[in-house]
Amino acid sequence: MSMQQRGYRFCALSIGLCLGVVVCAAAAFAQQSAWVDEINNSLNFYKTSYPGSNWEPYSQRLQTVKEAVDRADTRTVKSEMGKWFKMLRAREQGIHDVAADELFNFALMVTPILEYGITVPPAPGGGTEPGY
């Protein structure tokens, strides 16, 4: 094998490796905010199912969270998701009890609580023990 062939082979290998890293990084970045999209999709379902409730403040807060996740602002994610969970617990804006409980439970399943250090309020009547 000549030196020129080795050079081409090395160049092709380097380019392939760089492309692989870029693809993996893009996939990881896309997955970072996927959990917010999942919650937002669920929220949209409840907006349709319970049109008499004011869901807009919930949507706005989730949009803020998504933007914070995209720019890796963990402090804002922690703060805003903590507020979002409190809103659900308190049924702010007159949302339906069943919708609030189901959305709360779903969000608990998909939100990376530990990764962001999000504080989850305890269940009503649950004493002083925190939710997470």
What confidence tens digit (pLDDT) does each residue in 7-26 have? 556 545 455 544 444 443 44
Higher pLDDT, 120 or 20: 120
- How far is the C-alpha of 79 from the C-alpha of 86, rounded, in Å? 11
What residue ranges do the domains of the chain occupy? 1-32, 33-132
- How far is the C-alpha of 113 from the C-alpha of 126, rounded, in Å? 20
Give 27's pLDDT tier (boundaries 50, 70, 90): very low
What confidence tens digit (pLDDT) does each residue in 40-53 have? 999 999 999 999 89
pTM over 0.85: no
What average pLDDT is seen over the chain?
82
